[in-house]
Amino acid sequence: MKKVLEIHDLNYTYHTPEGETPALRDISFSVKSGEFISIVGPSGCGKSTLLSLISGLLTPGDGTIQLMGKPLKESRTNVGYMLQHDHLFEWRSIYHNVLLGLEIQHNLTAKTKSKAHELLETYGLEEFANAKPSELSGGMRQRAALVRTLILEPDLLLLDEPFSALDYQTRLTVGDDIGQIIRREKKTAILVTHDLSEAISLGDKVIILSNRPATIQQTVSLHFNLAQDTPLHRRNTPEFKDYFNLIWKELNQK
Ligand code: ADP
Ligand code: MG
């Protein structure tokens, strides 16, 4: 299958007046089309730094990042980024928040507007199209943020702890919900999280990072014997517990 992302021997160090902070060391991995990769690692190990490099917000010290077989700089691959905070603008309605990226890209057409309505409808937000973000629950806001990202038709979706601002209960259902939407849309995705259960319930693979500077400690492929493979069903399987214990042990190895 086609590789959407290929990373080779990536290193990154922050240089500040206070000194040098090595954040990533010798990171190599690839992501195939349609794959959902979870990345876990201790807080402050370099997870967000890795996503910033993939999205082009930071430039690697050395090593290479290729998107669809081309170096990042030359690539026209559309990368979508979803963060912990939904960054919805309170003065805009949900519909107008969803259109924001299209506006920035000067791609607001009858066709893309009707796609916006279609996605809002599919994901249960159409009746809130004219509502302001504050009128929605935390989970619905995350859905709206996801619709705003999906409408740009990203080839690669980067998710940086997108559920961590939600309370535990909401987080379970929203994680399940968003995970299923991403699968349905057949998106290639990288989810960064410090929550093992979230990583195991959503991913095809879990990449475990070490303490800073992050190196890849292990990669675990996930397989579940389920007729209906959904995040919530996964949580109730014996495999889930085994994966949890395995990854927990890895993470706590010094
Ligand atoms: P994570 O997302 O895994 O919690 P980050 O990638 O945000 O970790 O950060 C990794 C390390 O790099 C941390 O020690 C952090 O303090 C440091 N760091 C992050 N951003 C900067 C920056 N702009 N300048 C200097 N150091 C930074
Ligand atoms: Mg982070």
**pLDDT tens digits along 41-72:** 999 999 999 999 999 999 998 999 999 999 99
pLDDT digit string, tens, across residues 80-123: 998 878 889 999 999 999 999 899 889 999 999 999 999 999 88
Distance of alpha carbon 200 from alpha carbon 244, whole angstroms: 7
Instruction: State the distance from the centre of ligand 1 to the C-alpha of 3, rounded, in angstroms.
Output: 28
Q: Quick check: 208 pLDDT over 70?
A: yes
Q: Quick check: 254 pLDDT over 70?
A: no
pLDDT-based confidence at residue 253 (cuts at 50, 70, 90): confident
Rounded mean pLDDT, 194-213? 95
Q: Which atom of ligand 1 is nearest to the CA of 192?
A: 2
The confidence score (pLDDT) of residue 111 equals 95
The confidence score (pLDDT) of residue 3 equals 94
Contacts of 202 (CB under 8 A, 6+ apart): 36, 38, 175, 179, 191, 231
The confidence score (pLDDT) of residue 87 equals 87
pLDDT-based confidence at residue 211 (cuts at 50, 70, 90): very high
Other beta carbons within 10 angstroms of residue 43's beta carbon come to: 9
Largest interatomic CA distance in the chain: 56
Distance of alpha carbon 34 from alpha carbon 12, whole angstroms: 27
Rounded mean pLDDT, 128-139? 94
Strand pairing class (189-193; 36-40): parallel
Q: What is the pTM of this model?
A: 0.92
The confidence score (pLDDT) of residue 114 equals 95
Pocket around ligand 1: residues whose beta carbon is below 6 Å from it?
14, 16, 21, 23, 41, 43-49, 212
Q: C-alpha distances in angstroms, 32 versus 38, 74, 78, 93, 205? A: 13, 19, 15, 36, 11
Instruction: State the distance from the centre of ligand 1 to the C-alpha of 44, rounded, in angstroms.
Output: 6
Ligand nearest 52 Cα, by number? 1
Instruction: State the distance from the centre of ligand 2 to the C-alpha of 172, rounded, in angstroms.
Output: 20
| Cβ density class 22-34: b for 16+ within 10 Å, e for less | ebbbebebebeee
Instruction: State the distance from the centre of ligand 2 to the C-alpha of 239, rounded, in angstroms.
Output: 28
The confidence score (pLDDT) of residue 24 equals 97
Rounded mean pLDDT, 119-146? 92
> Where is pLDDT greater, at 39 or 180?
39
pLDDT digit string, tens, across residues 150-160: 999 899 999 99
pLDDT digit string, tens, across residues 164-186: 878 888 888 888 888 888 888 88
The confidence score (pLDDT) of residue 252 equals 87
Identify which of 156, 149, 150 has the alpha carbon closest to the alpha carbon of residue 53: 156
Q: Which atom of ligand 1 is nearest to the CA of 15?
A: 25
